[in-house]
């Protein structure tokens, strides 16, 4: 019985062992199959992670300077790694940047388009009297003021309104002579022709004398009709307006030609606007102008450019422009300030790109054209008029060309732009003197005296420049790029490289703290 039970137990254990062995074999086989299936899929993934081959490190500012190891330039910027496949552009004059870097830089493009290029020129102005509407009242004979009808400065007057009454012995005598002559003509109507002619000549001479003294026609007619000579003469206003100045005082004696009143017609006024020198070429006579006056913020006034003065104010670099406008109700008072807005730019459509698309190297202007994904071509362009957002391109590109409008300076830093520019089409042959003048770079050491960040200029006191036969002197330079200043401050010793972009227009293309360049070369 015991042997029978032992046999059953042994048989059961053998069955369990065989089943476990069979299950293990099946599981192992399935795992091998899965591994084999996964192997081909994993192979490409391993291939995509293959490290790129590092060729060298290049200067971050586009200078022809490379290094086999990572380092920094004189401004503390890291040299940029160049990998296999990125070292050469696809064509002469092209820039090649990986699409990954293009996305990181945030490059944006916009097609060059035809548009009406208009912009607003603003200027400060002031209201002035129209000089042609200012009248001076004075007498042409000696006399005394008996009575004033207008006796306050600023008082409004109408044309023909009595201003004052005067007494003059000469005036009374002239009236009497004319009155006698006029009566003599009537009394000698039966006399000989010679006698009548002589009396008429005497009367005409007296009449001309009175008219030369500005006696009114009404008073002359009264005398001719047999009226008596008046002791006083009333002066009338020659124009309507306001009294600007009054020197007449009751009882005072005046001399011939002495100014007694000054009267201005304020129905129309001038606004003299100071327009900056750079904008004056776009302003023409007859152009419509919009004006705002601080005293009337809810009102807008319209005027017309009447005259552009021939002189420039050297202190402000502005040119006065005269604007004429009506002044109904006398709202505009002389001396008020005016905000002047002039829309310039015609209706003609011109080829334009955004202002941000232009890279100004100091000697020429460049735009970057996107030729394909990650490929850019620098193009030299000639620019025309500008608006606040766009600039006219006269030569260099065509309508529809995609130009880089954002991150173009970063593309400059990420690529050897200077090397690409050397591949541009050569300019027409020039005389040796002209070619040398426009391309040669000069060096100097000196002191940074002042910085004008608004106008992009600096004042430098430099040592003698042998390449130009210059003595030591202090002069102004234009900065090719505001970034040249870096951390430099006025008073710092510096070394500079500069070129002549135009006659007498010297542009700094490189500027370092004195000794920094030498230290960098020895690095």
* pLDDT at residue number 162: 92
Q: Which pair of structure tokens corresponds to residue 382? A: 């000639």
CATH 2.40.50.320 correct for 432-521: yes
Q: Measure the N-to-C terminal CA separation of the chain; round to a whole number of Å.
A: 100
Predicted confidence (pLDDT) per residue in 347-358, tens digit: 678 888 898 888
Lowest mean pLDDT across 73-82, 375-384, 433-442: 433-442
Query: Going by DSSP bridges, is the β-strand pair 442-452/402-406 parallel, antiparallel, or unpaired?
Result: unpaired
Question: What span, in angstroms and rounded, lies between the C-alpha atoms of 276 and 316?
Answer: 8
* pLDDT at residue number 416: 54
Q: Which CATH number fits domain 95-117+348-421: 1.10.4160.10, 2.40.420.20, 3.40.190.10, 1.10.3720.10?
A: 2.40.420.20
**Cut 0.85: pTM above it:** no
Lowest mean pLDDT across 183-192, 408-417, 450-459, 500-509: 408-417
**Domains in the chain: boundaries:** 1-49, 54-83, 95-117+348-421, 131-264, 432-521
Read off the pLDDT of each residue in 11-18 and give the average, rounded to a whole number.
Answer: 47
* pLDDT at residue number 248: 92
Q: Given this chain, do its domains 95-117+348-421 and 432-521 carry the same CATH topology?
A: no
Predicted confidence (pLDDT) per residue in 70-93, tens digit: 888 766 778 878 776 655 545 556
Q: Does the structure show a pLDDT above 90 at 62?
A: no
Predicted confidence (pLDDT) per residue in 216-264, tens digit: 777 777 766 666 777 888 888 988 889 999 999 999 999 998 999 999 9
- The pLDDT-based confidence of 118 (bands split at 50, 70, 90) is confident
Read off the pLDDT of each residue in 168-185 and give the average, rounded to a whole number.
Answer: 78
* pLDDT at residue number 193: 79
Fold adopted by 131-264? OB fold (Dihydrolipoamide Acetyltransferase, E2P) (2.40.50)
Q: Which pair of structure tokens corresponds to residue 331? A: 């709202």
Q: Does the structure show a pLDDT above 60 at 197?
A: yes
The distance from CA 64 to its chain's CA centroid, rounded to whole angstroms, is 36
Q: Do 269 and 332 form a contact (C-beta atoms < 8 A)?
A: yes
225 φ/ψ angles, rounded to the nearest 5 degrees: -80, 5
| DSSP letter (8 states) at residue 278 | G
Q: Does the structure show a pLDDT above 60 at 429?
A: no
Lowest mean pLDDT across 4-13, 186-195, 265-274, 309-318: 4-13
Question: What span, in angstroms and rounded, lies between the C-alpha atoms of 474 and 484?
Answer: 19
* pLDDT at residue number 291: 93
């Amino acid at each position: 019985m015991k042997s029978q039970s032992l046999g059953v137990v042994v048989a059961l254990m053998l069955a369990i062992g065989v089943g476990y062995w069979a299950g293990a074999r099946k599981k192992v086989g399935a795992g091998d199959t899965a591994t084999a299936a996964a192997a081909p899929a994993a192979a490409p993934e391993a291939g995509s992670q293959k490290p790129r081959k590092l060729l060298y490190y290049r200067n971050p500012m586009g200078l022809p300077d490379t290094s086999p190891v990572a380092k920094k330039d004189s401004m503390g910027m890291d040299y940029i790694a160049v990998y296999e496949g990125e070292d050469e552009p696809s064509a002469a004059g092209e820039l090649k940047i990986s699409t990954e870097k293009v996305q990181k830089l945030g490059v944006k493009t916009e097609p060059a388009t035809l548009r009406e290029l208009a912009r607003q020129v603003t200027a400060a102005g002031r209201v002035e009297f129209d000089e042609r509407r200012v009248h001076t009242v004075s007498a042409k004979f000696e006399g005394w003021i008996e009575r004033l009808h207008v006796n306050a400065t600023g008082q409004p007057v109408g044309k023909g309104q009595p201003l004052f009454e005067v007494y003059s012995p000469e005036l009374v005598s002239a009236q009497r002579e004319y009155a006698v002559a006029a009566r003599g003509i009537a009394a000698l109507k039966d006399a000989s022709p010679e006698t009548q002619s002589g009396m008429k000549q005497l009367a005409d001479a007296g009449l001309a004398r009175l008219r030369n003294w500005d006696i009114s026609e009404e008073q002359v007619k009264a005398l001719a009709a047999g009226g008596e000579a008046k002791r006083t003469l009333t002066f009338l206003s020659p124009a309507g307006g306001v009294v600007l100045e009054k020197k007449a005082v009751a009882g005072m004696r005046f001399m011939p030609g002495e100014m007694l009143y000054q009267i201005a017609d304020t129905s129309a006024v001038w606004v003299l606007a100071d327009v900056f020198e750079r904008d004056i070429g776009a302003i023409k006579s007859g152009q419509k102008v919009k004006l705002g006056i601080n005293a009337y913020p809810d009102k807008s006034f319209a005027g017309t450019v009447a005259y552009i003065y021939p002189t420039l104010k050297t202190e402000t670099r502005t040119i006065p422009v005269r604007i004429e406008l009506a002044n109904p109700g006398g709202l505009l008072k002389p001396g008020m300030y005016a905000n002047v807005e002039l829309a310039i730019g015609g209706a003609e459509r011109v080829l334009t790109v955004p202002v941000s698309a232009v890279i100004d190297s100091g000697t020429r202007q460049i735009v970057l054209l996107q030729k394909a994904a990650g490929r850019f071509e620098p193009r030299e362009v000639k620019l025309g008029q500008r608006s606040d957002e766009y600039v006219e391109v006269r030569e260099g590109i065509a309508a529809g060309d995609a130009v880089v409008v954002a991150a173009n300076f970063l593309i400059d830093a990420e690529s050897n732009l200077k090397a690409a520019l050397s591949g541009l089409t050569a300019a027409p042959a020039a005389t040796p003197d002209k070619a040398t003048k426009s391309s040669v770079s000069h060096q100097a050491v000196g002191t940074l005296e002042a910085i004008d960040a608004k106008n992009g200029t600096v004042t430098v006191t430099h040592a003698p420049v042998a390449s130009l036969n210059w003595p030591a002197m202090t002069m102004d330079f234009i900065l090719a790029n505001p970034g040249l200043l870096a951390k430099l401050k006025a008073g710092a010793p510096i070394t500079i490289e500069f070129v002549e972009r135009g006659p007498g227009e010297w542009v700094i293309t490189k500027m370092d703290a004195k000794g920094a360049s030498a230290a960098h070369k020895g690095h």
